Amino acid sequence: MANFKRSELQHFVDDGEKDYPPVFVGRQDILKHVLTKAARTSARKSGIPGNTTVITGAPGAGKSSVLSELTRFNTDLSKEGPKTLHISSVELEENFSDVLMAIGALGRTKKSQLKAHVLKGAQLGSLALLDIAGLIDINIQDVKTLFQKNEVRNIGALHKAFPVSDWDTAVIVAVDEAQNLPFGRGTPQSNFLRALHEAVTKLPLTLVLAGLGDTQSVIRSMGLTRNQIATSIGCFTPDEQAELTDRWSAHFGITIGDQRAHIDQLMTPTDGWPRHVHCAQQALAEALLVKGVDGQADKIKDWNAVQRRSDQLRNSYYGEQYSDVMDYSPQLTAQVLQEVGTAERAGKPLNTSQLRQKIQNTCDTNPSGNFECPPEHTAGTFITHLMHCGALEKNPETGMLTCPIPSFQNYILRRGELDPTALE
């Protein structure tokens, strides 16, 4: 019998979907792409112009998990390679000087000096700098002194304070929620990102930007245009889903027994969407934690109850994503999703301009108010809002719109009194 890790599984339930997943599957092409760029940067001992990776996806697609997986390599001494600084767009805006300090400290620290508990998910980001000495076996005061002495306020000054000879590998600067960065040039943050993207210094730095479907428009406004092609992530493949079930169960010491078919059936309504998969895993975990079951799936008495709990968690998530803006005009919201879905299934997907015109026409020709555009929104900003909620996504290659989460699309249609089966 496997060694059931009850307390760890309880933590999985309590910590929720925002925590780093205990098992990481898929996304190997993206990881390889980022690490290959970083390896070339390490070999050249300098940045490479256009060496930026953009990762997009709807909420719950697993973008943050990809960045956290890159961070996990920081202390994997069995593998040569770069180190990663995983920060949020908020940190970049509000703690910019600390971000620069973190990059310098991480760059001049050998992987063998990084503390093992970084593996447990602690991020070496600016908010951790007050306790950075607990993560790195270096004297943080020396780093602060160098910063003060050199007045490090931008990437150029960082280069002077920490010359390339101090760096043993490249550092990947990974920015999460990049869609929230301010539009336009001229801010310290946009200048910093453009300097990394254009490799204006000789420091071995690469850039990863992860965000929602409109991230590309934000970073283009900053002037990041060279070789900038986004990679979109979405559902797990069936093979990845099967691998996740096996490894997740093994990680917690769960005995599947003869219940694999029940577990696979539990996962079916998730569409392989990572956030929804977590809902199913949480429902299963709760059933496995029941006294007397103790991690043995064969002892679960009511699989229908587990399915109902999974459905409840997933629908609660839908409710959280269904914003007040969408609820202001549920029929208009549903109509938009139906227009996009119908066009997509007909092989003639809509772009943003086409959908904007359809929204304007719908609002203009329905004076009843049921199809009124939400206050303080234009047709264009309403589309952007739907992207941020995960209802719509723009294909980074074609610019065409899609509904990335079929089950969420069906939920929205039902809220607007439309029949989801009409799109089948």
pTM for the structure as a whole: 0.86
At residue 119, the pLDDT reads 33
Share of the chain above pLDDT 90, in %: 51
More confident residue, 273 or 157: 273
Residues 132-178: pLDDT tens digits? 434 444 555 666 676 666 677 788 888 888 888 888 889 999 999 99
Across 220-226, average pLDDT: 85
Distances (CA, A) of 326 to 75, 170, 203, 261, 319: 44, 43, 45, 37, 11
329 within 8 A of 366, measured Cβ to Cβ: no
Nearest to 298 by CA among 262, 268, 269: 262
Residues 49-66: pLDDT tens digits? 888 999 999 888 999 899
pLDDT at 269 over 80: yes
b/e sequence 274-283, b meaning 16+ C-beta within 10 Å = bbbbbbbbbb
The pLDDT confidence band at residue 107, using thresholds 50, 70 and 90, is: confident
More confident residue, 110 or 63: 63
Across 198-222, average pLDDT: 89
At residue 125, the pLDDT reads 38
Residues 245-259: pLDDT tens digits? 999 999 999 999 999
The pLDDT confidence band at residue 30, using thresholds 50, 70 and 90, is: very high
pLDDT at 265 over 80: yes
At residue 31, the pLDDT reads 93
The pLDDT confidence band at residue 227, using thresholds 50, 70 and 90, is: low
pLDDT at 35 over 50: yes
Q: How far apart are CA 257 and CA 279, in angstroms?
A: 22
More confident residue, 282 or 107: 282
Across 167-194, average pLDDT: 89
Average pLDDT, the chain: 86
The tokens for 315 are: 């629908």
Q: How far apart are CA 126 and CA 369, in angstroms?
A: 48
More confident residue, 139 or 21: 21
231 within 8 A of 396, measured Cβ to Cβ: yes
30 within 8 A of 203, measured Cβ to Cβ: no
